[in-house]
Structure 1
Amino acid sequence: MNKTFPIALAVLSAMYSAVLPAADDVATTLQKTLTERFPDIKVERVGPSVLPGLYEVVTPSEIVYSDAKGEHLVLGQIMDVKTRENLTQTRWNELNKVDFAGLPFQQAIKLVKGQGRRKFAIFEDPFCPYCQELERALHQLDDVTVYIFLFPLEGLHPGASDAARDIWCASDRAAAWSEWMLNKKAPPQAPECKDTPLAPLAALGEKLRINSTPTMFFPDGSRVPGAIALDKLETKIAATNKR
């Protein structure tokens, strides 16, 4: 074998790499290109994705993917077929971690079961069927403190805001919440009650990019959108409340 061949190959590879733009340069150019082509959408950041040649484009509401030139967009999610992990959702959760200790717990309905040593928070809509499904799972937990932030999605569930107000204004909010979510027993109407946290919580939900209910937050800052099975919820609580 010609000894000069490996050397020549190495030189050619170095030359080829030198003419390719760095990933950071591509991301910067791509962000500019997409911003120009979609002026009504805020492109917050662009970077390489888990798939070679595909770039992750982060907007205020979702992650999409683009080729290096911004000529084609992929509107969908990437899944690891071996683990069945939704990598797009995992990445979104990673980018949107919260300061759990900084949440306004005084604006939450506090549910304590057992000693209440393990903590997490949920943004919920009283008319959301997935929230009601989750509440049935929560009813089986022990040694937890759950902070319920009322987050009625009035556009999807007309009347949810009134129900949330009545629950908040009840003499026993925790009992009123549980009676409604588990037994469909409505609290007394409280149309004159104006002292509710619904407006600031709506603003907080927008800031935290909550676009569906339920959305759960845990002490490590991670989030889980949607209702999950009891065993998975128990595993998540245990993993994020290590003492």
Structure 2
Amino acid sequence: MAHSTILTALGGIMMLTGSAQAPTSAQVEAALKDRLPKTKVSSVDCSKVDGLCEVVAGENLFYVDRTARFLVIGRVYDMQTRQDLTAARLLALNPDMLVGSAAKANASAEAPEPPAAGGGTRVTQPALAQHLDVSRLSDKGAIVWGTGPQRVTVFSDFHCGYCRALSQTLESMNVTVIERPISVLGSREIADQVLCARDRHAAVRAAYAQDPIRPGPKCNTSGLDENEAFARAHGLNGTPVIVRSDGAVLEGFKPKPLLEQWLKGAKS
């Protein structure tokens, strides 16, 4: 993955007293109150990732080491289960939270500004357009899967955890998906492979799971350039962006019940 993790020293060393054992979540929370007095900490959990404590502060989600000296703003991935732990936790905290809102909330944690270059990757930001005419796009950049009567276009990025969650949700629905990859997070090479795969649907699944994609013959990938030009022209700077058959736009991951209700509102 191309996501960067920002490690910022907050200064000072917290001395562990009275025991050689690792501090408890309560002790870490107490230390955070001293170090981040303006941040209202909701919960601290040091049991999920060895050496790190997950900190929830309102809409913020970040991590600290067990001495509360180092603060980590970024994504935590379990490479054994291939799960984005940060995305899963954010969805558990607020199922309706957009990726852009989550990223903005995390960035607002009380910490120094990251470097301008190379200091992190913006996950997404809300699209500006409220209605999109995707009929002007050719089929060259479209990856079509599913066989349902309702059609939905998705601008996605294969490095986006929320796009993966959306894809899995759409798999369970009776819809036809027109997936149009755009490289927001540096996934163009993967998108090329998916577009040229013999079984594009299987390739989509493999791409989101970070599994090897069965190679296909070389093909014309200019359709992906068309997708990205369209996205830039209409202010789609993040993913996922979902477009209904009547052009209505929904930004970010949404749970299945909301998607089903939203799709029913399409104007014929």
TM-score by length of 1: 0.53
2:167 maps to amino acid: E
Instruction: Note the C-alpha offset of 1:173.
Output: 1.1
Partner of 1:137: 169
Whose relative contact order is higher, 1 or 2, with alpha carbons under 8 Å and at least 6 apart? 2
Partner of 1:204: 230
RMSD: 2.3
How does 1:24-103 map onto structure 2 within 5 Å?
A: 92-93=128-129, 96-103=130-137
Instruction: Note the C-alpha offset of 1:240.
Output: 1.1
SS in 2 for 1:177: helix
**2:140·2:224 contact (CA, 8 Å) conserved in 1?**
no
> Is 1:166 the counterpart of 2:193 in the alignment?
yes
Instruction: Note the C-alpha offset of 1:222.
Output: 1.0
**1:97·1:223 contact (CA, 8 Å) conserved in 2?**
yes
**Could you list the runs of 5+ residues in structure 2 that have no partner in the other structure?**
1-125
> Is 1:233 the counterpart of 2:259 in the alignment?
yes
Determine the C-alpha separation between the residues in 2 that align with 1:231 and 1:105. Answer: 29
CA separation of 1:112/1:100 partners in 2, compared to 1, >3 Å: closer, same or farther?
same
**Larger gyration radius, structure 1 or structure 2:** 1
Show CA shifts across 1:125-159 (max 9, x none).
011111011111112101x1110001121xxx34x
Partner of 2:92: none
**1:117·1:145 contact (CA, 8 Å) conserved in 2?**
yes
Instruction: Note the C-alpha offset of 1:101.
Output: 3.3
Partner of 1:120: 152
Tell me the number of residue pairs that the alignment of Structure 1 and Structure 2 aligns.
142
Partner of 2:246: 220
**2:143·2:178 contact (CA, 8 Å) conserved in 1?**
yes
Show CA shifts across 1:39-93 (max 9, x none).
xxxxxxxxxxxxxxxxxxxxxxxxxxxxxxxxxxxxxxxxxxxxxxxxxx89x55
1:97 maps to amino acid: H
SS in 2 for 1:240: coil
Determine the C-alpha separation between the residues in 2 that align with 1:100 and 1:199. Answer: 15
Determine the C-alpha separation between the residues in 2 that align with 1:214 and 1:185. Answer: 21
Instruction: Note the C-alpha offset of 1:241.
Output: 5.9
Partner of 2:203: 176
Identity value in percent: 23
Instruction: Note the C-alpha offset of 1:112.
Output: 1.9
Instruction: Note the C-alpha offset of 1:207.
Output: 1.5
**1:118·1:241 contact (CA, 8 Å) conserved in 2?**
no
TM-score by length of 2: 0.48
SS in 2 for 1:211: coil
> Is 1:111 the counterpart of 2:137 in the alignment?
no
Partner of 1:195: 220
**Could you list the runs of 5+ residues in structure 1 that have no partner in the other structure?**
1-88
